[in-house]
């Protein structure tokens, strides 16, 4: 499967979204299409062998919109285009306001018995408002109707045209009172609403823009001819750049020379600058606060941590939560239903014996007050603000559906090593071997040589211990690893096994009673014990311990305060697991669980009706992360792409788990509020308008305010802590 992101121009309401999605999904090879009204972007998954990218752009054009590839977009050109579009709308609004004020003033002052010259003057002032300031509504309505659908533009164009056309007819035949002020005011208020709505949506996407703005625009690259100022877009892996005090690091890399304090708060959240020396990694977008560095770049452009974070946030915004899909489906039939309701309203008033002018006002009010925009913006604006705020807090949510699921989590399963603990193990004891057998030093040489081929945290601790003891390591042949159990191989002429007691039993290696007492003492103290067998005989063990991760106990307490049940799920033995669990405040522990069986544990919890989150390091825990309702990966600053997870904690701080759940709950609450008010607004407004209780001008004001109120309510998430 391939994925394409398309920037869309011309989206106005949720009905537009439904029309474009339907058109994209008709393209052969397209498996899914999500269009986001708030970000004005479409995300399409398709099979390259069946469909091509050109067909996607053609589908966008067929639906009546303009599209361009998001990855090809020039940010400067995009900003200019957006600014030009904004300026056009504002100019149309200014024209509408300038002409509508006298039209309304005159109409209110002379409500009856206006002379013909005054009616002609009102008509002359209204024509530019109707057909110049309001041209966008006609253009949008034509595009929509041409493709067999109806959107918000259709309602506004239809309502104002009816009012304007009726007024022209009354002037032409001298039939009485005109309603030029009605059409002029509706267009003015709707334009004002769109300007205010765009401003609010721009504020909602500010967090994503701030992420991208952290990147410097140019870098000082060291070449054979000296320093050269180079645009960051032209940097390549291997380039050496100079970073002076106050400069931003242009891309990810390693310090080649120099020493400095670097502010990495935009990724790690650590407010204090971090000391960087030769060999240390630096993250693009971080800022030198003192000292000069020469850095060798290894990740540039889209591969940098900052770009990955921004891309993940943007991807999450183009996805859809189930509640949003339901709202979009409702909006797709909303406009035709409103048009029918307006028609029946007019007919009903005429049949009831009311004057044509009264029937006209009720009909126009119904057309104008209906607002699918609020329904279309209810979810994406909340998700947009939450996604940006989450990124600022070091929480990346990969899609909005995961955000919705996270709000309902009632059980969190946590891995131990690298999650609740630092994952930085150290050898605390080399348990004596049987008398007359291999010496402790020789045992360390065998174990260290074997573990040097492994990437497990305990293996790294053992290798470091051997180095500190001056143990010389030997080559290993026939190496193999059993996930969650142990490793084995041939060192010199001896077959060595290092792993769990359970694995030894499975392999037919008998545990030696002479070692049992010392091993039990080490395990009771909370150490993890790696049993050692040489040539099929249990000859010793090495005890390693891990330290509790900073904030682990606080993270568990935060989750429990939220009413979330926390269980430790680990492959370690019971005693070591319970020691860490006791320090964290976790009551329930499932120990000696193999990586493959962790997913089964998640399934069992789900079968009991629980909404489950799995928290792990994203490597051995990948099956469980994928199985869980919400997979949460603990990540460090340079490793954020945990593919199996739905949520990535970029700062590696376990306390982000509770923060993510609180953010999800707050976002879900905002979405529900938005949808309630959007539905309630239409449910109350349309009947009132049909009953003649709302004038068209009041209806237009209410329609404009409905969308603005939804976006403003979503913006409250920017203050989330």
Name the catalytic one among 7, 151, 239, 415: 415
Euclidean distance between the first and the last CA atom of the chain, given in angstroms as a whole number: 38
Structure tokens at 26: 């008709």
Write the DSSP assignment of 251-293 as a string of letters.
SEEEEEEE-EEEE-HHHH---S-EEE-TT-EE-TT-EEEES-E
Burial class of residue 439, CB neighbours in 10 A (0-12, 13-18, 19+): exposed
When computed from its CA atoms, the radius of gyration of the chain, rounded to whole angstroms, is 33
Between CA 491 and CA 493, with CA 492 as vertex, the angle to 5 degrees is 100
The whole-angstrom separation of Cα 138 and Cα 130 is 10
The whole-angstrom separation of Cα 51 and Cα 469 is 62
Task: Scan for tokens 């769109």, then name that residue.
Answer: 194
| Residues found in the chain | 721
In sequence order, what E strands does 139-285 have? 218-223, 226-231, 240-243, 252-258, 260-263, 274-276, 281-282
In sequence order, what E strands does 438-493 have? 476-482, 486-491
Q: Is 306 helix (H, G, I), strand (E, B) or coil?
A: helix
The whole-angstrom separation of Cα 484 and Cα 502 is 11
Instruction: List all residues 6 or more positions away from 507 whose beta carbon is below 8 Å from its beta carbon.
Output: 497
Q: Strand order in 30-36's β-sheet?
A: 30-36, 41-46, 2-9, 66-69
Question: Which of left, alpha, beta for 285 (phi over 0: left; psi -120 to 50: alpha)?
Answer: left
The whole-angstrom separation of Cα 155 and Cα 344 is 15
> 415 catalytic, yes or no?
yes
Say if residues 377 and 670 touch (Cβ distance below 8 Å): no
The whole-angstrom separation of Cα 144 and Cα 47 is 28
Q: Is 520 helix (H, G, I), strand (E, B) or coil?
A: helix
In sequence order, what E strands does 25-175 have? 30-36, 41-46, 66-69
Say if residues 406 and 647 touch (Cβ distance below 8 Å): yes
Instruction: List all residues 6 or more positions away from 682 whose beta carbon is below 8 Å from its beta carbon.
Output: 334, 369, 370, 371, 374, 375
The whole-angstrom separation of Cα 301 and Cα 253 is 12
Q: What is the DSSP letter of 492?
A: T
Task: Scan for tokens 């989206």, then name that residue.
Answer: 11
The whole-angstrom separation of Cα 382 and Cα 624 is 29
| Of 607, 493, 613, residue with least CA distance to 562 | 613
223 backbone dihedrals φ, ψ, rounded to 5°: -125, 175
| Of 291, 203, 210, 204, residue with least CA distance to 247 | 291
Q: What is the DSSP letter of 43?
A: E
Helix axes of 552-561 and 656-690: crossing angle, nearest 10 degrees: 30
Burial class of residue 88, CB neighbours in 10 A (0-12, 13-18, 19+): exposed
Q: Is 3 helix (H, G, I), strand (E, B) or coil?
A: strand
Structure tokens at 569: 């799920």
The whole-angstrom separation of Cα 287 and Cα 289 is 6
Determine which helix (DSSP H) or strand (DSSP E) holds 629, and give its type and residue range. Answer: none
Catalytic machinery residues: 415
């Amino acid at each position: 499967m391939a994925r394409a992101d398309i920037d869309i121009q011309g989206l106005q309401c949720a009905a537009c979204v439904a029309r474009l999605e339907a058109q994209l999904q008709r393209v052969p090879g397209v498996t899914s299409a999500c269009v986001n009204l708030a970000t004005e972007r479409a995300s399409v998954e398709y099979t390259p062998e069946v469909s091509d990218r050109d067909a996607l752009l053609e589908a966008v054009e067929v639906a009546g919109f303009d599209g361009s590839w998001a990855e090809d977009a020039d940010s400067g050109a995009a900003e200019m285009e957006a600014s030009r579009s904004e300026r056009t709308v504002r100019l149309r609004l200014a024209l509408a306001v300038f002409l509508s004020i006298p039209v309304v003033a005159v109409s209110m002052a002379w409500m009856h018995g206006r002379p013909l010259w005054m009616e002609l003057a009102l008509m002359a002032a209204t024509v530019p408002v109707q057909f110049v300031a309001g041209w966008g509504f006609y253009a949008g309505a034509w595009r929509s109707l041409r493709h067999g659908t109806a959107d918000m533009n259709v309602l506004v164009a239809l309502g104002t045209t009816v009012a304007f056309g009726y007024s022209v007819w009354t002037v032409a035949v001298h039939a009485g009172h005109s309603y030029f002020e009605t059409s002029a005011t509706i267009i003015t208020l709707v334009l004002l609403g769109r300007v205010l709505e765009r401003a609010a949506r721009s504020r909602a996407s500010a967090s994503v823009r701030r992420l991208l703005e952290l990147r410097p625009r140019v870098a000082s690259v060291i070449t054979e001819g000296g320093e050269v100022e180079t645009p960051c877009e032209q940097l390549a892996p291997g380039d050496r750049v100079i970073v002076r005090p106050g400069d931003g690091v242009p891309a990810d890399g390693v310090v080649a020379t120099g020493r400095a304090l670097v502010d990495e708060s935009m990724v790690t959240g650590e407010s204090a600058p971090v000391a960087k020396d030769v060999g240390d990694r630096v993250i693009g977008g971080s800022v030198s606060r003192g000292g000069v560095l020469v850095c060798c770049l290894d990740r540039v452009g889209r591969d940098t941590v900052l770009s990955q974070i921004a891309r993940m946030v943007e991807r999450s915004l183009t996805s859809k939560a189930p509640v949003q899909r339901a709202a979009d489906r409702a909006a797709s039939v909303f406009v035709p239903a409103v048009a029918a309701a307006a028609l029946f309203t007019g007919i009903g008033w005429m049949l009831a014996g009311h004057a044509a002018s009264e029937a006209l006002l009720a009909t126009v009010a119904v057309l104008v007050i209906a607002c699918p925009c609020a329904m279309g913006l209810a979810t994406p604006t909340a998700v947009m603000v939450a996604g940006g705020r989450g990124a600022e807090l070091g929480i990346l949510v990969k899609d909005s559906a995961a955000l919705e699921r996270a709000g309902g989590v009632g059980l969190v399963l946590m891995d131990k090593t690298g999650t609740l603990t630092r994952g930085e193990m150290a050898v605390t004891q080399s348990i004596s071997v049987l008398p007359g057998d291999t010496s402790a030093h020789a045992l360390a040489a065998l174990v260290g040589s074997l573990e040097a081929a492994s990437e497990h945290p305990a293996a790294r601790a053992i290798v470091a211990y051997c180095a500190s003891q001056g143990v010389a390591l030997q080559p290993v042949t026939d190496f193999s690893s059993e996930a969650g159990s142990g490793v084995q191989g041939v060192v010199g002429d001896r077959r060595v096994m290092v792993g769990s007691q359970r694995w030894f039993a499975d392999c037919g290696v008998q545990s030696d009673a002479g070692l049992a007492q010392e091993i039990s003492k080490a395990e009771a103290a909370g150490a993890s014990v790696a049993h050692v067998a040489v040539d099929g005989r249990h000859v010793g063990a090495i005890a390693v311990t891990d330290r509790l991760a900073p904030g682990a106990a606080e993270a568990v307490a935060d989750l429990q305060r939220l009413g979330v049940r926390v269980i430790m799920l680990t492959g370690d033995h019971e005693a070591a697991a319970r020691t860490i669990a006791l320090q964290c405040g976790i009551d329930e522990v499932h120990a000696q669980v193999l990586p493959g069986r962790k997913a089964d544990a998640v399934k069992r919890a789900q079968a009991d009706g629980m909404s489950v989150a799995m928290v792990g390091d994203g490597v051995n825990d990948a099956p469980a992360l994928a199985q869980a309702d919400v997979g949460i990966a603990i990540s460090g600053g340079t490793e954020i792409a945990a593919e199996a997870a739905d949520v990535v904690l970029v700062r590696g701080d376990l306390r982000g788990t509770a923060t993510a759940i609180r953010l999800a709950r707050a976002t879900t609450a905002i979405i529900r509020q938005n949808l309630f008010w959007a539905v309630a607004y239409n449910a109350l407004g349309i009947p009132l308008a049909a009953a003649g209780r709302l004038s068209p001008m009041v209806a237009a004001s209410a329609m404009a305010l409905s969308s603005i109120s939804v976006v403003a309510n979503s913006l409250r998430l920017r203050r989330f802590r």
